[in-house]
Structure 1
Amino acid sequence: MNQNTTRELLNYLKDNSGFVTSNELANVLNVSTKTIKRQVKRINDDANALVIKSEKGRGYFLDYNIYLYKKDSLSFMDKEPLNKIQLDILRELLLTSPKFIRLDELMDKYYLSESAIHVAIRKIESVLADYNLVIVMKHRHVQISGSEKDIRDALIYLILNANNEYDFGNLTDILESQIKDPDISFAIRQKEYAESALKSTIPYPYNVNLFMHIYILLNRTRRFVKISMDDKTVRSLDKQISEYPEIFSVSTEILNNINRYLHVNVSKNEIYYLFEYLISSRLNSIIGDKNDDTLVKTVTDLYIDIVSHDFGIKIVRGSLFTELFQHILPMINRLRHNIRLNNALIDEIKTEYGQLLQSVETASLQIEKDLNLPHISQNESGFIALYFAKYLEENNNQLSAIVVCTTGIGTSELVAAKIRKSFPNIHIENVISSFELDDVIKYGKKVDLLISTIPLRKKYKMPVVVVSSLFSLRDKNRVQEVVRNLNEPIDTSKFLEIPIETKELSKDSVINMVSQKLGLLTGLDSRRINKAIYDREEKGNTTITNGIVILHSIINDKFPNFVGISVLNTPIHTWKCLDNTPVRIVITFCLSQENVIHKSNVKDIRYLSRNLADDDFVDELSNSRNSKVAINLIKRKLEESQC
Structure 2
Amino acid sequence: MGTKNNREQRLLLLLTKRHDYVTSDELSELLGTSQKTIYRLIKKINQEHGGGLIQSEKGRGYKLNYEKYISQTATRGGQRSQYSPQERRNRVMEELLLSSPKAKNVYALFEEYYVGESVIFNDEQLIADALQRYELKLQRKQRTLAVSGKEVNIRRAIADLIQLHNIIEIEELKNHSELNFNTYDVLFILDQLKLIEKQLSMTIPYPYNVNIFSHLYILISRLRKVQHLPEEELNPLSSKEQAGLEQDLRLYEVAEAAIKNVENYLHSLLPESEVYYLYQYLTSSRMQGSLSKVTKFSTKVVEITNTYLKEMSQRLNIPIKGDSIFLDLGNHIKPMINRLEHGIHVKNSLLDQIKMTYDTIFTDVTEVSKAISQRFDLPSINEDENGFITLYFARIIETNQLPIRTVIMCTTGVGTSELLRVKIEKKFPELEIVDVVASRDAQRFTEKYPGVDLILTTINVSDTIPINSLLVSAMFTADDQNRLQQKIEAIYDER
Question: Shorter chain as normaliser: what TM range?
Answer: 0.5 to 0.7
Partner of 1:223, secondary structure, is: helix
2:87 maps to 1:95 = no
What is the alpha-carbon distance in structure 1 between the residues aligned to residue 132 and residue 405 of structure 2? 45
For residues 549-568 of structure 1, the C-alpha deviation after alignment (integer angstroms, 9 at most, x for no partner) is: xxxxxxxxxxxxxxxxxxxx
Structure 2 counterpart of 1:271, which letter? Answer: V
Partner of 1:315, secondary structure, is: coil
Measured at CA, do residues 275 and 458 of structure 1 come closer, stay the same or move farther in structure 2, by a change above 3 Å?
same
Contact 2:168 2:206 (C-alpha < 8 Å) held by counterparts: no
Question: Which runs of 5 or more residues in structure 1 are unaligned?
Answer: 5-66, 73-79, 402-425, 430-437, 450-455, 463-478, 485-643
Contact 2:284 2:335 (C-alpha < 8 Å) held by counterparts: yes
Which one has more relative contact order, counting CA pairs under 8 Å at least 6 apart?
2
Instruction: Map 1:104-503 to 2 at 5 A.
Output: 104-106=107-109, 112-125=115-128, 127-128=130-131, 133-159=136-162, 161-164=163-166, 166-174=168-176, 179=181, 181-224=183-226, 225-227=228-230, 228-229=232-233, 234-283=238-287, 292-397=297-402, 446-447=451-452
What is the alpha-carbon distance in structure 2 between the residues aligned to residue 130 and residue 216 of structure 1? 19
What is the alpha-carbon distance in structure 2 between the residues aligned to residue 348 and residue 193 of structure 1? 33
Contact 2:295 2:327 (C-alpha < 8 Å) held by counterparts: no
Structure 2 counterpart of 1:169, which letter? Answer: E
What is the alpha-carbon distance in structure 2 between the residues aligned to residue 111 and residue 100 of structure 1? 21
Structure 2 counterpart of 1:86, which letter? Answer: R
Q: How far is 1:186 from its partner?
A: 0.7
TM-score by length of 1: 0.48
TM-score by length of 2: 0.61
For residues 365-397 of structure 1, the C-alpha deviation after alignment (integer angstroms, 9 at most, x for no partner) is: 121122222221111111011011111111114
Q: How far is 1:309 from its partner?
A: 0.1
Measured at CA, do residues 200 and 107 of structure 1 come closer, stay the same or move farther in structure 2, by a change above 3 Å?
closer
Contact 2:136 2:154 (C-alpha < 8 Å) held by counterparts: yes
Partner of 2:268, secondary structure, is: coil
Contact 2:405 2:453 (C-alpha < 8 Å) held by counterparts: yes
Contact 1:107 1:117 (C-alpha < 8 Å) held by counterparts: yes
Q: How far is 1:241 from its partner?
A: 1.4
Measured at CA, do residues 131 and 104 of structure 1 come closer, stay the same or move farther in structure 2, by a change above 3 Å?
same
Partner of 2:85, secondary structure, is: coil
Contact 2:92 2:110 (C-alpha < 8 Å) held by counterparts: no
Measured at CA, do residues 390 and 459 of structure 1 come closer, stay the same or move farther in structure 2, by a change above 3 Å?
closer
Q: How far is 1:96 from its partner?
A: 0.8
What is the alpha-carbon distance in structure 1 between the residues aligned to residue 167 and residue 466 of structure 2? 48
Determine which structure has more spread, i.e. the larger CA radius of gyration: 1
Measured at CA, do residues 291 and 137 of structure 1 come closer, stay the same or move farther in structure 2, by a change above 3 Å?
farther
What is the alpha-carbon distance in structure 1 between the residues aligned to residue 216 and residue 269 of structure 2? 15
Measured at CA, do residues 114 and 439 of structure 1 come closer, stay the same or move farther in structure 2, by a change above 3 Å?
farther
Contact 2:346 2:384 (C-alpha < 8 Å) held by counterparts: yes
What is the alpha-carbon distance in structure 1 between the residues aligned to residue 317 and residue 403 of structure 2? 11
Measured at CA, do residues 459 and 341 of structure 1 come closer, stay the same or move farther in structure 2, by a change above 3 Å?
same
Structure 2 counterpart of 1:141, which letter? Answer: T
What is the alpha-carbon distance in structure 2 between the residues aligned to residue 265 and residue 171 of structure 1? 27
Contact 2:174 2:183 (C-alpha < 8 Å) held by counterparts: no
What is the alpha-carbon distance in structure 1 between the residues aligned to residue 218 and residue 259 of structure 2? 13
What is the alpha-carbon distance in structure 1 between the residues aligned to residue 324 and residue 280 of structure 2? 28
What is the alpha-carbon distance in structure 1 between the residues aligned to residue 443 and residue 237 of structure 2? 69
For residues 83-131 of structure 1, the C-alpha deviation after alignment (integer angstroms, 9 at most, x for no partner) is: 5543432221121123332334435575543323212223434555665
What is the alpha-carbon distance in structure 2 between the residues aligned to residue 89 and residue 134 of structure 1? 15
What is the alpha-carbon distance in structure 2 between the residues aligned to residue 458 and residue 146 of structure 1? 71
What is the alpha-carbon distance in structure 1 between the residues aligned to residue 114 and residue 340 of structure 2? 42
Measured at CA, do residues 277 and 177 of structure 1 come closer, stay the same or move farther in structure 2, by a change above 3 Å?
closer
Question: Which runs of 5 or more residues in structure 2 are unaligned?
Answer: 4-31, 38-82, 407-429, 434-441, 455-461, 469-489
% identical aligned pairs = 32
Contact 2:93 2:127 (C-alpha < 8 Å) held by counterparts: yes
Contact 1:132 1:150 (C-alpha < 8 Å) held by counterparts: yes
Q: How far is 1:202 from its partner?
A: 1.8
What is the alpha-carbon distance in structure 2 between the residues aligned to residue 260 and residue 386 of structure 1? 41
Measured at CA, do residues 173 and 140 of structure 1 come closer, stay the same or move farther in structure 2, by a change above 3 Å?
closer
Measured at CA, do residues 177 and 333 of structure 1 come closer, stay the same or move farther in structure 2, by a change above 3 Å?
closer
Structure 2 counterpart of 1:303, which letter? Answer: Y
What is the alpha-carbon distance in structure 2 between the residues aligned to residue 384 and residue 319 of structure 1? 16
Measured at CA, do residues 321 and 116 of structure 1 come closer, stay the same or move farther in structure 2, by a change above 3 Å?
same
What's the RMSD between the two structures over aligned residues?
4.3
What is the alpha-carbon distance in structure 2 between the residues aligned to residue 93 and residue 400 of structure 1? 62
Contact 2:453 2:467 (C-alpha < 8 Å) held by counterparts: no
Measured at CA, do residues 315 and 440 of structure 1 come closer, stay the same or move farther in structure 2, by a change above 3 Å?
farther
What is the alpha-carbon distance in structure 2 between the residues aligned to residue 446 and residue 100 of structure 1? 72
What is the alpha-carbon distance in structure 1 between the residues aligned to residue 117 and residue 444 of structure 2? 72
Partner of 2:140, secondary structure, is: strand
Measured at CA, do residues 113 and 351 of structure 1 come closer, stay the same or move farther in structure 2, by a change above 3 Å?
same
Q: Name the structure 1 match of 2:78.
A: none
Q: How far is 1:279 from its partner?
A: 1.7
What is the alpha-carbon distance in structure 2 between the residues aligned to residue 318 and residue 164 of structure 1? 33
Q: How far is 1:240 from its partner?
A: 2.1
What is the alpha-carbon distance in structure 2 between the residues aligned to residue 181 and residue 363 of structure 1? 43
Q: How far is 1:273 from its partner?
A: 1.1
What is the alpha-carbon distance in structure 2 between the residues aligned to residue 156 and residue 330 of structure 1? 18
- Aligned residue pairs total 357
Contact 2:312 2:365 (C-alpha < 8 Å) held by counterparts: yes
Contact 1:255 1:271 (C-alpha < 8 Å) held by counterparts: yes
What is the alpha-carbon distance in structure 2 between the residues aligned to residue 251 and residue 202 of structure 1? 14
What is the alpha-carbon distance in structure 2 between the residues aligned to residue 440 and residue 115 of structure 1? 78
- Per mean C-alpha deviation after superposition, the further-off stretch among 201-210 and 223-232 is 223-232
What is the alpha-carbon distance in structure 2 between the residues aligned to residue 147 and residue 141 of structure 1? 20
- Per mean C-alpha deviation after superposition, the further-off stretch among 317-326 and 387-396 is 317-326
Structure 2 counterpart of 1:82, which letter? Answer: P
Contact 2:443 2:464 (C-alpha < 8 Å) held by counterparts: no
Contact 1:188 1:211 (C-alpha < 8 Å) held by counterparts: yes
Q: How far is 1:444 from its partner?
A: 8.7
Measured at CA, do residues 458 and 157 of structure 1 come closer, stay the same or move farther in structure 2, by a change above 3 Å?
same
Measured at CA, do residues 335 and 143 of structure 1 come closer, stay the same or move farther in structure 2, by a change above 3 Å?
same
Measured at CA, do residues 139 and 319 of structure 1 come closer, stay the same or move farther in structure 2, by a change above 3 Å?
same
What is the alpha-carbon distance in structure 2 between the residues aligned to residue 264 and residue 213 of structure 1? 17
For residues 392-445 of structure 1, the C-alpha deviation after alignment (integer angstroms, 9 at most, x for no partner) is: 1111147889xxxxxxxxxxxxxxxxxxxxxxxx99x9xxxxxxxx87975999
Contact 1:82 1:124 (C-alpha < 8 Å) held by counterparts: no
